[in-house]
Amino acid sequence: MNLKNQFQLEQPIFYKILSNCFESKRIPHAFLLVGENSSMAAHYIAKSLICESGTLACDECNECHRIDNHNYADLIYANGNEETIKKGKIEYIQEQFSKSSLEGKAKIYLLENIENSTSEAMNSLLKVLEEPISGVYAIFTCQNINRVLPTIQSRCQVIQLLPSSKKILIEKLKEKDILKDDIYVLSEIFSSYEECEKYIDTELFDDLKLEVYHFIEDLYFHRENLVINVETHLLKKYKEKENIRLFLNMLVLGLKDLFHVKQNMDLVYPSFKSLFEKISDTEENIIKRIELVLNTEYLLETNANVLLLMDSMMYRI
């Protein structure tokens, strides 16, 4: 089976979006693919930009093979899982692509696992996306879209891969007879049942979910209590970085639900719906708060003091 047919069968949404873009010749300047096995799809987009055998890549010609081997002269490649993507890498991309094309075709930068970028790199990348250059295409992948700035997401054609895997995970979680909130939150944060299992019906997960509720409630209605409540309940009991990271991921999902409730979309926290409906906030403010939480999560990976980091986030949010 060739790669095109494989995508038609296994990734029909990805294939349909890509086909429509290339057939209409309205190709976005930036793609963001979300999913564990997104590398093959990302490289397929790059091949389709330079392959001359048809609307989409043939995956057989020399040009397609050059993309696979990363020896196409106008391709810049980086993988955040191999080395953190830093501001210097983005500046290098800007510098190289300000010059004339070496190949006379599309100029492409393919960055995998961009959630593993420094905050400075993310901000530099955002500036590049805000001023797209004709003939230059960005292809990004990530496994956790919650760690990618919403402002970057909004400037990309976002394609969620592996929908069937997520559906299977949700169905498997439903077999455990757990709360709808828990099913949705776990399936948004984790990609396998094995990862979810360690949190099912645990005191930790229940506590963090409750802390998300109280955090959002205090943020909008009892601002004066926010810091003291988080310090007294969350940080006094859970100080490990892994637990704080999980809380921040869960908080991002809660803040995103503030968008969802306005659009009558399905909520990740359906039991919080009555709270979310009471909240009035602008999209701009919500996005800023989400970005602040994401940046705090990034800083957790450094040697920053967890308590000071969380206090800083709460005062700024």
The answer on 117 and 13 residing in a single domain is yes
Single pTM value for the model: 0.58
C-beta separation of 201 from 228 below 8 A: no
**Residue 115: which domain range?**
3-161
Residue 214 neighbours by CB under 8 Å, 6+ apart: 229, 233
91 found inside a domain: yes
Q: Is the same domain home to 157 and 206?
A: no
Give domain status of residue 181, yes or no: no
Task: Check whether residue 47 and residue 141 sit in a common domain.
Answer: yes
Asked if residue 216 and residue 118 are part of one domain, the reply reads no
Residue 144 lies in a domain: yes
Picking from 112, 143, 161, the residue at the C-terminal end of a domain is: 161
Q: Please check whether residue 182 lies inside any domain of the structure.
A: no
8 and 124 in a single domain? The answer is yes
Find out whether 307 and 297 touch, Cβ atoms under 8 Å: no
Q: In this structure, are 141 and 209 located in the same domain?
A: no
Does residue 293 lie within any of the structural domains?
A: yes
**CATH code of the domain in which 50 resides:** 3.40.50.300
Say yes or no: 74 and 138 in one domain: yes
Range of weakest confidence among 46-60, 145-159, 168-182, 242-256:
168-182
Instruction: Mark whether 147 and 238 lie in a shared domain.
Output: no
CA–CA separation, 176 and 201 (whole Å):
10
Tell me, what CATH number does 282's domain have? Answer: 1.20.272
Tokens of 57: 């890549």
Q: How many domains does the chain have?
A: 2
Give the pair of three-digit tokens for residue 207: 């506590």
Residue at a domain's end among 107, 140, 161: 161
Domain-embedded: residue 146: yes
Asked, for residue 170, whether it belongs to a domain, the answer is: no
Picking from 111, 135, 161, the residue at the C-terminal end of a domain is 161
- Establish how many alpha carbons lie within 13 A of residue 271's alpha carbon, considering only the half-sphere containing its beta carbon: 11
The CA–CA distances, whole Å, from 278 to 217, 251, 258 equal: 10, 18, 10
pLDDT recorded at residue 162: 62
Same domain, 157 and 215: no
DSSP state letters, 239-304 = -SHHHHHHHHHHHHHHHHHHHHHHTTPPPSSGGGHHHHHH----HHHHHHHHHHHHHHHHHHTTT-
Coil, helix or strand at residue 134: coil
Res 32 pLDDT > 60: yes
110 by DSSP, 3-state: which?
strand
Q: Are residues 96 and 208 in the same domain?
A: no
What is the pairing mode between strands 107-112 and 30-34? unpaired
* Neighbouring C-beta atoms of residue 303, cutoff 10 Å: 6
Residue 263 scores a pLDDT above 70 = yes
Condensed to tens digits (0 to 9), the pLDDT of residues 225-242 reads: 999 999 999 999 998 899
Indicate whether 54 belongs to any domain: yes
Query: Is residue 210 domain-shared with residue 292, that is, in the same domain?
Result: yes
Question: Could you tell me what percentage of the chain is helix, strand and coil, using 3-state DSSP and rounding each to the nearest 5?
Answer: 60, 10, 30
Residues 68-117 have pLDDT tens digits of: 999 999 999 999 999 999 999 999 999 999 888 888 899 999 999 999 99
Cβ atoms within 10 Å of 91's Cβ, excluding its own = 13
If asked whether residues 77 and 223 sit together in one domain, one would say: no
User: In the prediction, which pLDDT does 69 show?
Assistant: 94
Greater confidence, 217 or 4?
Answer: 217
